[in-house]
Amino acid sequence: EPEVTQTPSHQVTQMGQEVILRCVPISNHLYFYWYRQILGQKVEFLVSFYNNEISEKSEIFDDQFSVERPDGSNFTLKIRSTKLEDSAMYFCASSEFRGREKLFFGSGTQLSVL
């Protein structure tokens, strides 16, 4: 069964550093998302992306965050200057054009900001 893959599974960085989290969505999917989960809390929406532009973003997704689909397969989340409170599990997800309600999640990247 096709799946969403995320790399790396764990990322440790120093506060103020830039990080890029990578995702390879399912190949025929057209909608892409990033969610995050701070340890012990609920999963929160960050951003959705379609047709090479952001469709929607939450208030969490401020100017420090950006997303990009640099080629036909990868979907990245960049945090320009990480803060301690950015420490969380970041999930990438994708969905088809038809059946957008069904999200396929990756296994997540655990980001630790020291």
Partner 1 sequence: AQTVTQSQPEMSVQEAETVTLSCTYDTSENNYYLFWYKQPPSRQMILVIRQEAYKQQNATENRFSVNFQKAAKSFSLKISDSQLGDTAMYFCAFMKTSGTYKYIFGTGTRLKVLA
Q: Which residues bind partner 1 (CB under 8 A)?
A: 31, 33, 35, 37, 41-45, 48, 55-56, 58, 89, 91, 93, 95, 100-103, 105-108, 110
Q: Kindly tell me which of 24 and 89 has the beta carbon lying closer to partner 1.
A: 89
Nearest to 15 by CA among 85, 109, 83: 83
Is residue 114 within 8 A of residue 12, CB to CB? The reply is yes
Q: At its nearest, how many Å lie between partner 1 and the CB of residue 23?
A: 14
Q: Kindly tell me which of 79 and 88 has the beta carbon lying closer to partner 1.
A: 88
Give the CA distances from residue 82 to residues 15, 31, 62, 94, 108, in Å, rounded to whole numbers and listed in that order: 5, 26, 12, 25, 18
Q: At its nearest, how many Å lie between partner 1 and the CB of residue 47?
A: 9
Q: At its nearest, how many Å lie between partner 1 and the CB of residue 78?
A: 20
Q: Kindly tell me which of 56 and 68 has the beta carbon lying closer to partner 1.
A: 56
Which region holds residue 70: left if phi is over 0, alpha if psi is between -120 and 50, else beta? alpha
Q: Kindly tell me which of 8 and 16 has the beta carbon lying closer to partner 1.
A: 8
Q: At its nearest, how many Å lie between partner 1 and the CB of residue 81?
A: 25
Nearest to 69 by CA among 58, 86, 88, 55: 55
Q: Which helix (H) or strand (E) holds 10?
A: strand 10-13
